[in-house]
Amino acid sequence: MGKTNQSSVTEFVLLGLSGYPELEAIYFVMVLCMYLVILLGNGIIIIVSVCDSHLHTPMYFFLSNLSFLDICYTSSSIPLFLSSFLTSKKTISFSGCGVQMFLSFAMGATECVLLSMMAFDRYVAICNPLRYSVIMSKTSYMSMAAGSWIAGGVNSVLQTSLAMRLPFCGDNVINHFTCEILAVLKLACADISINVISMVIANAIFLVVPVLFIFVSYVFILSTILKIPSAEGKRKAFSTCSAHLTVVIIFYGTILFMYAKPKAKDFSGTDKVQVTDKIISLFYGVVTPMLNPLIYSLRNKDVKEAVKNMLCQKCSSEGMSML
């Protein structure tokens, strides 16, 4: 890990929790269990959204996209993260780091846009219900979802290409669980001002704009709900968007806390990545995708009913095969 030049950098070392071996076994079990829940929960959401005709609506189409996105996002890093606990080799190839960075950026940016599209869907459903089927036609919501994926992919190509073209002539140790772009940029031995500017612009487009769009949408939604005369009507209207609002708060709240909080300093005045920073990053990367299907299934009777019907059909078919 000594001094290297750009041509000799073929891999990076992911430090993770190497300095805290007493925590590795605990986090291996925790992350493995959460990853299995992510695959199971989001997989069920995708299956019922496709198989149950009652869920062939814009909201559940967006939800199935969100579930697929969460599976892709976690699968880009968690398997490698788990394998690092089982071996002393904690490296990732230069190209592998680029792929991981690309997937992380693409999924993160796509989710930001997708959540704003889901907010628009709830706005139309509550504030303009008579024109809902016209505004949110199949062509419209499929185009909105495709646009979210394309926008996230284009941004990821730009950010990843700018980062991976940099020369790395210092240590190749990434003080993180994954190839997180800020941790990688610290290893570059060239001017990263273009990277910083592009990330600031991307953050404004994919974080600030969607947040403002979601905020304005819910201002109109809340205003419409308050005008409903009956308490039961207000409850039903709010229940249709409560799950999405919960996911938005968790998603953006974690990002805000992770990047807006001041970095800890040691006594020499240099930046030091604390274990708490890594755990917060882990929360964003694993816990949030795990909570999404739980929130939507526990707070949504349509999803619960679809899962129940699917299980009943499976039991019936198995019973018939035994006769």
Please give the model's pTM, rounded to 2 decimal places: 0.84
Residue 306 near residue 52 (C-beta atoms within 8 A): yes
What was the pLDDT predicted at 25?
78
Residue 100 near residue 55 (C-beta atoms within 8 A): no
Per-residue pLDDT band at 188 (split at 50, 70, 90): confident
The pLDDT tens digits for 29-61 are 888 999 999 999 999 889 988 888 888 889 889
Average pLDDT over residues 232-250: 86
Task: Kindly list the distances between the CA atom of residue 157 and the CA atoms of 106, 114, 116, 166, 290, in Å, as whole numbers in the listed order.
Answer: 8, 18, 22, 15, 26
Say whether pLDDT at 181 is over 60: yes
Residue 248 near residue 119 (C-beta atoms within 8 A): yes
The pLDDT tens digits for 212-233 are 999 999 999 999 999 888 888 8
